[in-house]
A and B are shown apart, each in its own frame.
Chain A
Amino acid sequence: MAETSLPTAPRARVRRLNLRLWLPLSWIGTLVVVALAAPWVAPHDPLAQDLFFERLPPFFLAGTEPGFWLGTDSLGRDVLSRMIHGARIALLVSVSAALITCIFGSALGLLAGYYGGWWDRVISRLVDIWMAFPPVLFAVLLVAVMGTGLTSVIAAIALIDWTRFARVIRAETMVQARMDYVDSARIGGARRLATLVGEILPNVLPSIIALLMLEMGIAVIVEAILSFVNLSISSDDPTWGSMIAEGRNAIHFAWWVLLFPLIALFLTVLSFSQLGEGLKQRFDPVLQ
């Protein structure tokens, strides 16, 4: 019998806690729970104004009132409650906008990268033309046409950012399409679409997931920016962006109104991008 080597022993999967995965997951997990349970966990009504309690400092400073943990803004509204309700909007926008962007952009990228020819020419031209528009102008125009509101914000994000998915996934698909396993699948009788979905897609999935997470972070920022310039939902509703905008006016005597939503925004964006990388490594059997 011929000499054979045994498969290399499956590398001992060290049950090392992967902080890159677990830290962002726990922040986002907390955010999700808090957002879902906002009416019950928020200590106050986020819209309730009380001019007796305006600009109360957070709990660790002097002159605070019990129950207003992170202080109040210039209308006496509770900052923590507004942040908790703001998380709802941030997550709603980021998840739905990123998913729509991802599905649309990745599908076009896969088709262009694998089918080539006409598909590729048309899609690549479209991407080029699209990217020639300044994105912020684009978003503002779109919201101006469609009117303010969550749907406009989501549509704006999808319309601006699908090109990122299309470009990256097209390039990755082209690399995979040159591999011999694609030929083998074809010789084995698989149709083109089946080859694309069954053989190539699983190989680009880790990249799609990483981009999706990144996009969720971007969507949170875009929503905040649009709220900041008052183009998101009505300015009464608590969003992190509008809180930051209002906090800016009072930064010298009530910095907490600006700082806490800013920290939440920062942590969320950072978590999504780290989660993307972490998941990519986790789900790629080759990188693992």
Chain B
Amino acid sequence: MTPPSMLDIRNLNVALLNGRPILRDVSLTVAPGEVRALVGESGAGKSMIGKAVLGILPRGLKVTSGEILLEGQPLHDLRPAARRRRVAEVAALIPQDPLTALNPVRRIGAQIVDPLIKIHGWARPAAQARALDLLHRVHIRAPERVMQSYPHELSGGMRQRVLIASAFAASPRLIVADEPTTALDVTVQKQILRLIRELQQETGTAVLFVTHDMGVVAKISQQVSVLFQGKVMEDAPTQAVFDAPDHAYTRALIAATPSYADPERPFSPVPQSLIAEMSAALAMEVRR
């Protein structure tokens, strides 16, 4: 018997209360220790997949059908409190926007240490040592001082490092990284990406890595799901997708990515005609 997937999403449908679909029959798996990239344009529903898994869908969005299994265990079987506990034990989030992801009135140290004590039952000194160690690992100089700081005293890149440290602190087995580099400038983006990859390889944590950048996909993931308007268009090993993309949309996404290795290579945005065609096809599907 193969071990259960770390995360297994089966035919997940999420819709607004008025019935507008946000996710359509999404299925994907993340094996233990694997990095799966989730790509798609803005508004495709990438963040909503992560939020559905973590149980933080915004008000007004509902899971209408499908199931989510965490280490083989269906989450919808659990009562809300048990579900939250389970997610807290197994998973963590590296959020999209480091500016609002830290509580402005609480010190950095407390924000990393508190969940370790409250959820994972660590003793305070151990939790504090762990936080220091991780801040060190994400290359923050003077971690003691940072622990005492408030978020507004840190730069955006430093806050994202803190959030990464915080995500890895409790040794989660699954991390949802929601465009962790989008809000940062290009040089910082590269450092953060390298850092996440380093820590991921070191700890063997499975990662669901949300991005809209095919260049990032190539660097970090083993598997990739391509999402368009809430529907998975392609689901394949990353290497295969770059060698021979199956879907026209995937080809267009790859063509739309500037190449660092070969800056001379021309790139073009995803053609409007293709998007219109695919939207029409999805609309047909709904009507049937």
Contact = CB atoms under 8 A, between A and B. Distances in A.
A5 B187 CA distance: 13
A189 B85 contact: yes
Interface stretch (B122-130, B139-147, B260-268, B278-286): B139-147
Contacts of B275: none
Nearest to A189: B88
Max chain B CB contacts within 10 Å: which of A3, A187, A188? A187
Nearest to B56: A183
Interface string A186-204: 1111110000000100110
Interface string A1-45: 111111110100000000000000000000000000000000000
A285 B150 contact: yes
Contact of B152 (A3, A190, A285): A285
Interface string A177-190: 00111011111111
Contacts of A189: 84-85, 87-89, 115, 118-119
Contact of B104 (A3, A7, A8, A286): A286
B251 to A, nearest CB: 34
Interface in B146-196: 146, 149-150, 152-155, 157-158, 161, 166, 191, 194-195
Given A1-B139, A4-B158, A184 B191 contact: no
Nearest to B191: A2
A199 B103 contact: yes
- Interface class of chain A by DSSP: loop
A100 to B, nearest CB: 26
A183 B142 contact: no
A186 B84 contact: yes
Contacts of B59: 116-117
B97 A188 contact: no
B102 A181 contact: yes
Interface in A198-227: 199, 202-203, 205
B95 A184 contact: yes
B103 A4 contact: no
Contact of A187 (B91, B153, B195): B91
A180 B97 contact: yes
Contacts of B103: 181, 185, 199, 202-203
A8 B146 CA distance: 10
6 contacts: A4-B140, A7-B142, A188-B118, A199-B103, A199-B106, A285-B104
Interface of A: 1-8, 10, 116-117, 179-181, 183-191, 199, 202-203, 205, 284-286
Given A7-B145, A181-B102, 12 more contacts: A3-B191, A4-B161, A7-B146, A7-B149, A181-B100, A183-B54, A187-B91, A189-B87, A199-B106, A285-B104, A286-B150, A286-B152
